C-alpha cells in the first residue's frame, strides 16, 4: 500500500512539474558588477600595457594549453581585489575544480565578492557542496534553469517531467576579475579541460582586457539577474555549521596530494602563473565586440526562445569573408542550410576549411553520426575538412601527466580572412545555435588572426589530423602524412556500429 501510494505521489508530482513551462517569477534586488578600481594591481597592469591612443581598443592573448589555461585562471583569482564573476556550463568536483574552489574561498576570505553562476544540468558539483560554498558571506551561487525536484532520485523524475523547459541550457564559459580582465572560450572547469585526464580536450581560450570588459560584465549581470538564474538558498537546505570546515579540509587535502607533482609544477612554470608580474605575455590590441545570446533564449515562453541571435551575427561575419574562412568546432552538424551556405561561400571564391573530431576522438557518438552525412556533399562542394587524430597530444609531446591519453577537439574558434577572429562557447551544431545560450568575443586584429590561423594550420597538419578526400568513385578517404584509410581511422568496430545505428535516429535537432 505504501509503495503504491509513493508511486502515485511521484507520478502526480511529475505531472504537475511537467505542466510548468517557465520558472515562476521572482523579484530580487538587482546585483551589478563592481566599478573598476584603476589603482588596483589589475587596474595598473591594464593601464601599463595599453598602447598610446588606444582608449577604445581592447587587448587579447590566446591561451592554448591546459596548464596555461589553469594557470591563467588561478592567477586571476589570486590577483582579485574586489570581485570575481564566474559563469560555467560544467564545474566538476575533481582536482582542478577543487584547486579553483579553494582559491575562490581564499579570495572570499580576503573580502572579494564572488558570484558563481552554474548551469544546473551541466554542473557536476553536489548540491551540498554548492550550498556550502554559498554559505560564505562573500560568495553567492545561482543555478541556471534548474530542475525543481532535488535529491539523487527525485532529480531524474524532474528531468523527465520538466524536459520541455530544462532542454534549454546555458553553455557559456566566462571568468571576470575586478571588472577589468576576463577569460572565455571553450573550456569548462574540470580535469579534462586542463590536461589532467585520460580524455585530453584540445581547446582555446582568450584572455581579454580593456574597453570590451564593460560589455562582458554587462552580459554577466544580465544572466545573473535573469529569472532563469535561481539563488541556491531558495532551493537547498542550509548546511550545518561544520560543513564549511569539512569542505575546506577536503580541498586542502586534495591540493596537498598534488603539491610538488609534475602537473602543478608545469602550472607554476606557465608564463600565465605570474601574468600580472612580468612581461612574457604578448597582448594584441584591436576593436572587439562581445557577442552573446540573451538568457531569455532558455525561457520557452519568451519571444527570444530558440532565436539564434549569436549564430546570426556569426553568419554575417562569415558572409563578409572574401578569401578565407577557418572553422574549428568540436561538434559540427551544419544542417542542410549550413551545408548550402558553406558551399555557396566556396562558389564565391572563399577558401572554406573545417576542423572537427573524428569518430575515434569524439566524446558524443550521436553528434558524429549526424555530422557524417554532410561530409560527402561538403567535399563535393569544395569545402576542405579535417578530423582530429586520436593521439595528437602524444605527437605534440604535451604531457598529460597521466600517461597515454586520448585527444579530443573541444575548441570553438573561427578566423575570417585572417583579419578577425571569434573565440567562444558556440559549436556549429543545432544545440548551440537553437537550444543553448552561448557567448564569445569577436576581435578585429590581424596579428591575433594570424596566430589562430597558425594554430589551425598546425592542428590540421598530417601529424595531428586526417584530411578527408573523395576517390574516383566518390568514396571517402582519410589521409595523413604517410597513410590513408578507406574507413573511419582508429575507430573500433563497436564505435562504427554504434555511430551507424545512431545515424538512423531522428535526433539531429537535439544535438
Q: Are residues 306 and 175 in the same domain?
A: no
Q: Which of 85, 119, 127, 171 is catalytic?
A: 171
**251 by DSSP, 3-state: which?**
helix
Task: Check if 85 is active-site.
Answer: no
d(CA 251, CA 239): 17
Q: Are residues 239 and 299 in the same domain?
A: no
Q: Which of 297, 317, 410, 420 is catalytic?
A: 410
Q: How crowded is residue 430: how many other Cβ atoms within 10 Å of its Cβ?
A: 22
CATH of the domain at 230: 3.30.870.10
Q: Are residues 108 and 214 in the same domain?
A: yes
The grid coordinates listed for 109 are 576570505
Task: Check if 171 is active-site.
Answer: yes
Domain count within the chain: 2
Q: Are residues 205 and 296 in the same domain?
A: no
φ, ψ for residue 90, nearest 5 deg: -120, 135
**103-138 pLDDT, tens digit each:** 999 999 999 999 999 999 988 888 889 999 999 999
**256-313 pLDDT, tens digit each:** 999 989 999 999 999 999 888 878 899 999 999 999 999 999 999 999 999 999 999 9
Q: Which of 173, 273, 297, 317 is catalytic?
A: 173
Sign (positive or negative) of CA dihedral 320, 461, 455, 403: positive
* Residue 45 within a domain: no
**454-473 pLDDT, tens digit each:** 999 999 999 999 999 999 99
Which residue, 140, 99, 148, is CA-closest to 121? 148
Q: Which of 293, 417, 419, 429 is catalytic?
A: 417
Q: Are residues 404 and 499 in the same domain?
A: yes
* Residue 20 within a domain: no
Task: Check if 178 is active-site.
Answer: yes
Q: Which of 119, 129, 178, 299 is catalytic?
A: 178
Contact 272, 157 (CB under 8 A): no
Domain membership of residue 460 as a residue range: 289-510
In this structure, the dihedral spanned by the alpha carbons of residues 373, 377, 380 and 386, taken in order and rounded to 10 degrees, is -50
Task: Check if 417 is active-site.
Answer: yes
Could you give the C-alpha distances from 164 to 113, 143, 160, 211, in angstroms and in order?
Answer: 34, 18, 9, 39
**216-237 pLDDT, tens digit each:** 999 999 999 999 999 999 888 8
Q: Read off the pLDDT band of 13 (50, 70, 90).
A: low
Q: Which of 269, 304, 329 is the last residue of a domain?
A: 269
**48-81 pLDDT, tens digit each:** 999 988 788 999 999 999 999 999 999 999 999 9
Task: Check if 2 is active-site.
Answer: no
Task: Check if 278 is active-site.
Answer: no
Q: Are residues 223 and 182 in the same domain?
A: yes
Q: Which of 127, 412, 419, 429 is catalytic?
A: 412
d(CA 204, CA 413): 7
d(CA 77, CA 178): 10
In this structure, the dihedral spanned by the alpha carbons of residues 153, 365, 437 and 288, taken in order and rounded to 10 degrees, is 140
d(CA 357, CA 99): 29
Q: Are residues 260 and 347 in the same domain?
A: no
Amino acid at each position: 500500500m505504501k509503495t503504491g501510494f509513493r508511486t502515485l505521489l511521484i507520478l502526480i508530482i511529475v505531472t504537475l512539474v511537467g505542466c510548468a513551462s517557465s520558472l515562476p517569477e521572482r523579484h530580487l534586488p538587482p546585483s551589478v558588477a563592481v566599478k573598476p578600481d584603476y589603482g588596483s594591481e589589475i587596474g595598473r597592469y591594464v593601464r601599463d600595457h595599453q598602447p598610446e591612443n588606444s582608449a577604445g581598443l581592447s587587448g587579447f592573448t590566446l591561451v592554448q594549453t591546459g596548464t596555461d589555461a589553469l594557470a591563467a585562471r588561478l592567477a586571476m583569482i589570486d590577483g582579485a581585489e574586489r570581485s570575481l564573476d564566474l559563469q560555467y556550463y560544467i564545474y566538476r568536483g575533481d582536482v582542478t575544480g577543487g584547486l579553483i574552489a579553494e582559491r575562490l574561498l581564499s579570495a572570499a576570505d580576503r573580502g572579494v565578492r564572488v558570484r558563481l553562476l552554474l548551469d544546473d544540468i551541466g554542473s557536476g558539483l553536489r548540491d551540498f557542496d554548492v550550498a556550502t560554498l554559498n554559505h560564505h558571506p562573500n560568495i553567492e551561487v545561482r543555478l541556471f534553469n534548474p530542475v525543481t525536484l532535488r535529491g539523487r532520485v527525485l532529480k531524474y523524475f524532474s528531468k523527465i517531467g520538466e524536459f520541455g523547459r530544462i532542454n534549454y541550457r546555458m553553455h557559456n564559459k566566462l571568468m571576470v576579475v575586478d571588472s577589468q580582465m576576463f577569460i572565455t572560450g571553450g573550456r569548462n572547469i574540470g580535469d579534462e579541460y586542463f590536461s589532467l585526464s585520460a580524455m585530453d580536450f584540445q581547446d582555446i581560450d582568450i584572455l581579454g582586457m580593456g574597453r570590451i570588459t564593460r560589455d562582458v560584465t554587462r552580459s554577466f549581470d544580465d544572466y545573473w539577474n535573469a529569472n532563469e538564474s535561481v539563488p541556491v538558498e531558495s532551493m537547498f537546505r542550509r548546511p550545518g555549521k561544520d560543513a564549511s570546515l569539512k569542505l575546506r579540509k577536503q580541498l586542502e587535502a586534495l591540493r596537498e596530494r598534488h603539491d610538488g607533482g609534475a602537473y602543478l609544477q608545469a602550472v607554476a612554470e606557465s608564463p600565465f602563473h605570474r601574468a600580472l608580474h612580468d612581461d612574457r605575455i604578448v597582448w594584441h590590441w584591436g576593436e572587439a565586440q562581445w557577442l552573446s545570446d540573451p538568457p531569455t533564449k532558455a525561457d520557452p515562453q519568451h519571444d527570444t526562445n530558440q532565436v539564434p541571435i549569436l549564430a546570426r551575427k556569426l553568419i554575417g561575419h562569415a558572409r563578409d569573408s572574401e578569401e578565407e574562412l577557418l572553422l574549428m568546432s568540436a561538434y559540427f552538424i551544419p544542417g542542410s542550410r549550413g551545408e548550402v551556405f558553406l558551399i555557396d561561400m566556396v562558389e564565391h571564391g572563399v577558401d572554406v576549411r573545417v576542423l572537427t573530431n573524428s569518430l575515434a576522438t569524439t566524446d558524443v557518438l550521436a553528434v558524429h553520426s549526424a555530422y557524417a552525412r554532410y561530409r560527402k556533399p561538403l567535399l563535393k562542394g569544395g569545402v576542405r575538412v579535417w578530423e582530429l587524430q586520436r593521439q595528437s597530444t602524444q605527437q605534440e609531446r604535451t604531457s598529460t601527466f597521466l600517461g597515454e591519453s586520448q585527444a579530443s577537439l573541444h575548441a570553438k574558434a573561427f578566423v575570417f580572412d585572417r583579419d578577425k577572429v571569434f573565440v567562444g562557447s558556440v559549436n556549429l551544431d543545432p544545440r548551440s545555435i537553437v537550444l543553448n545560450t552561448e557567448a564569445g568575443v569577436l576581435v578585429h586584429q590581424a596579428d591575433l588572426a594570424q596566430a589562430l590561423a597558425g594554430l589551425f594550420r598546425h592542428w590540421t597538419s598530417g601529424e595531428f589530423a586526417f584530411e578527408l578526400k573523395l576517390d574516383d568513385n566518390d568514396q571517402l578517404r582519410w589521409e595523413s602524412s604517410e597513410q590513408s584509410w578507406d574507413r573511419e581511422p582508429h575507430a573500433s568496430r563497436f564505435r562504427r556500429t554504434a555511430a551507424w545505428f545512431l545515424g538512423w535516429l531522428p535526433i539531429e535537432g537535439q544535438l
